[in-house]
Amino acid sequence: MARSEKKGHLFVVSAPSGTGKTTLCRLLQGAFDTLGYSVSHTTRKPRQGEVHGKDYFFVSHEAFEAMIRDHGLLEWAKVHGNYYGTSLSFIRESLDKGMDILLDIDVQGAEQIVKHYPDAVTIFIMPPSMEALEQRLNARATDSKDVIETRIRNARDEIRKKDLYRHVIVNDKLDAATNELFELIRSYL
Ligand code: 5GP
């Protein structure tokens, strides 16, 4: 089948923050010709080094709420007090072109995606332990104490939902987890 006649795959990767998911997803970018990355919209303020249009589209509350009203988002959720959402037109157009897309989104978003795309390949990244997660979040030092505490509370809730995912990968050693994720994605392409 010609590439343009074949629909792409959606890969949905979720993990509690501090699990190394963003690093893992970055390592995957460029590894597969047809694998694109969905850049989300968020009302969160950029962290140091983050680039508008590459890491996120950083938008105001008003702009985000207008996107919700105009049905411009395939899914959206409030995570740690900020809005995050996936562009509907980007996903539709990419899949129609036969591109495969990787989404780095939270559990609430993954549940919405599966309703629209039951064939989406859902992958949950686990920290090796809660202690390791707390250490990583504290070491990151980009967030305040309050933010870290909220993220730890949310992590416990998210981990309870891991069985909703088709695949679970434990990120103990980054190299091993990257390989596992790479092989998993390759097995679907
Ligand atoms: P962070 O602020 O650390 O970049 O991301 C916080 C959380 O929001 C992460 O769990 C991330 O996966 C999630 N997230 C990022 N983009 C989206 C999105 O478009 N939709 C949803 N539902 N969650 C997102």
Given ligand 1 and candidates 11, 22, 40, which is best to mutate, with the most ligand atoms within 8 Å of its CB? Answer: 40
Q: How far is CA 129 from CA 82, 135, 136, 155, in A?
A: 26, 10, 11, 11
Q: Which atom of ligand 1 is nearest to the CA of 107?
A: 22
68-114 pLDDT tens trace: 999 999 999 998 789 999 999 999 999 999 999 999 999 999 999 99
Q: Are 155 and 21 in contact (CB under 8 A)?
A: no
10-64 pLDDT tens trace: 999 999 988 888 888 888 877 888 899 999 999 999 988 999 999 999 999 999 9
Q: Which residues line ligand 1 (CB under 6 A)?
A: 17, 40, 44, 75, 77, 79, 84-86, 104-106, 108-109
Q: Which atom of ligand 1 is nearest to the CA of 80?
A: 6
Q: Are 29 and 103 in contact (CB under 8 A)?
A: no
| Percent of residues, the chain, with pLDDT higher than 70 | 96
Q: Which residue has the least CA distance to atom 1 on ligand 1?
A: 17
Q: Are 94 and 148 in contact (CB under 8 A)?
A: no
Topology of domain 3-188 in CATH is Rossmann fold (3.40.50)
pLDDT of residue 141: 67
pTM of this structure: 0.90
Q: Are 102 and 25 in contact (CB under 8 A)?
A: yes
Q: Which residue has the least CA distance to atom 12 on ligand 1?
A: 105
Where in the chain are the domains?
3-188
